[in-house]
Structure 1
Amino acid sequence: ENPDLIDLRVSQYLKEGKTSAWYHYMSRPEFVAAEADKRAVHWAVNSDAPLYIVHMSDKEGLEAAVKAKTEGAKIFIETCPQYLEFTCDVYKRPDGRNFICSPPMKGQESLDALWLAIKTGGIDTVATDHCPFQQKEKDWGINDFTKVPNGCAGVENLYPYMLGAATDGKISYSRAVELCSTNPARIFGCTDKGSLAVGKDADVVIYDPQKTFTISVRNMHSDYDNTIWEGKTVHGYPVKTFVRGKLVYKDGEYVGTPGDGRFIKCAKASVN
Structure 2
Amino acid sequence: MTELDLVFRARRVITAYGEVDRCVGVKDGTIVAIEPYDYDLAADTVVELGEDEVLLPGLVDTHVHVNEPGRTEWEGFASATAAAALGGVTTLIDMPLNSIPPTIDVAALQVKRKAAETQSHVDVGFWGGAVPGNEDELRGLHDAGVFGFKCFLLHSGVDEFQPLPPEDLEGVLSRIAAMGSQLIVHAEDSDAIDRAGVGGPLRSELYESFLASRPRGAENLAIAWLLERARWTGARVHVLHLSSSDALPMLASARRDGVRVTVETCPHYLTFNAEEVPDGATQFKCCPPIREAENREILWRGLTDGVIDIVVSDHSPCTADLKHLDTGDFGTAWGGIASLQVGLPAVWSGARVRGHALTDVVEWMATGPARLAGLPHKGSVALGNDADFCVFAPDAAFVVDARRLAHRNPVTPYDGRALSGVVRQTWLRGSRIDTTGTPAGKLLRRGDR
Query: TM-score higher than 0.5 here?
Result: yes
Distance in 1, Cα, partners of 2:226 & 2:348: 31
The reply to whether residue 170 of structure 1 matches residue 351 of structure 2 is: no
TM normalised by structure 1 equals 0.87
**Other-structure match for 1:50:** 236
Local SS of the residue matching 2:341: helix
Q: Which residue of 247, 265, 269 corresponds with 1:79?
A: 265
Q: Is the 1:191–1:267 contact (alpha carbons within 8 Å) kept by the matching residues of 2? A: no
Distance in 2, Cα, partners of 1:31 & 1:45: 21
**Other-structure match for 1:2:** 189
Residues 1:168 and 1:108: Cα distance change in structure 2 (over 3 Å): closer
Distance in 2, Cα, partners of 1:28 & 1:60: 14
The reply to whether residue 231 of structure 1 matches residue 419 of structure 2 is: no
Residues 1:90 and 1:236: Cα distance change in structure 2 (over 3 Å): same
**Other-structure match for 2:125:** none
Q: In the TM superposition, what is the alpha-carbon distance from 1:189 to its structure 2 partner?
A: 0.8
Q: Is the 2:271–2:350 contact (alpha carbons within 8 Å) kept by the matching residues of 1? A: no
| Structure 2 counterparts to residues 100-249 of structure 1, below 5 A | 100-139=285-324, 142=327, 144-248=329-433
Local SS of the residue matching 1:236: strand
Q: Which residue of 225, 236, 256 corresponds with 1:70?
A: 256
Higher relative contact order at CA 8 Å, sep ≥6: structure 1 or structure 2? 2
Q: In the TM superposition, what is the alpha-carbon distance from 1:166 to its structure 2 partner?
A: 4.4
Distance in 2, Cα, partners of 1:235 & 1:94: 27
Distance in 2, Cα, partners of 1:143 & 1:207: 36
Which deviations, in whole Å up to 9, do the C-alpha atoms of 1:49-79 show, x marking residues without a partner? 2110000011111221122223332110000
Residues 1:266 and 1:171: Cα distance change in structure 2 (over 3 Å): farther
Local SS of the residue matching 2:295: helix
Residue ranges of structure 2 left out of the alignment (5+ in a row): 1-187
Kindly report the root-mean-square deviation, in angstroms, between the aligned alpha carbons of the 2 structures. 2.2
Larger Rg, first or second structure (1 or 2): 2
Residues 1:264 and 1:234: Cα distance change in structure 2 (over 3 Å): same
Q: Is the 2:393–2:423 contact (alpha carbons within 8 Å) kept by the matching residues of 1? A: yes
Q: Is the 2:263–2:310 contact (alpha carbons within 8 Å) kept by the matching residues of 1? A: yes
Local SS of the residue matching 2:218: helix
Residue ranges of structure 1 left out of the alignment (5+ in a row): none
Distance in 2, Cα, partners of 1:16 & 1:169: 39
User: AA paired with 2:259?
Assistant: A
**Other-structure match for 1:39:** 225
Q: Is the 1:126–1:180 contact (alpha carbons within 8 Å) kept by the matching residues of 2? A: yes
**Other-structure match for 2:441:** 261
Residues 1:175 and 1:188: Cα distance change in structure 2 (over 3 Å): same
| Structure 2 counterparts to residues 15-30 of structure 1, below 5 A | 16=201, 18-22=203-207, 23-30=209-216
Distance in 2, Cα, partners of 1:159 & 1:120: 20
Distance in 1, Cα, partners of 2:249 & 2:265: 13
Which deviations, in whole Å up to 9, do the C-alpha atoms of 1:28-49 show, x marking residues without a partner? 1111111111211222223322
Percent identity, aligned pairs only, is 26
Q: Which has the higher helix share?
A: 1
Residue correspondences, number: 260
Distance in 2, Cα, partners of 1:145 & 1:238: 33
Distance in 2, Cα, partners of 1:178 & 1:122: 13
Worse-superposed segment, 213-222 or 238-247: 213-222
Which deviations, in whole Å up to 9, do the C-alpha atoms of 1:156-176 show, x marking residues without a partner? 111122233444453121111
Local SS of the residue matching 1:146: coil
Q: Is the 2:196–2:215 contact (alpha carbons within 8 Å) kept by the matching residues of 1? A: no
TM normalised by structure 2 equals 0.54
User: AA paired with 1:242?
Assistant: W
Q: Is the 2:267–2:343 contact (alpha carbons within 8 Å) kept by the matching residues of 1? A: yes
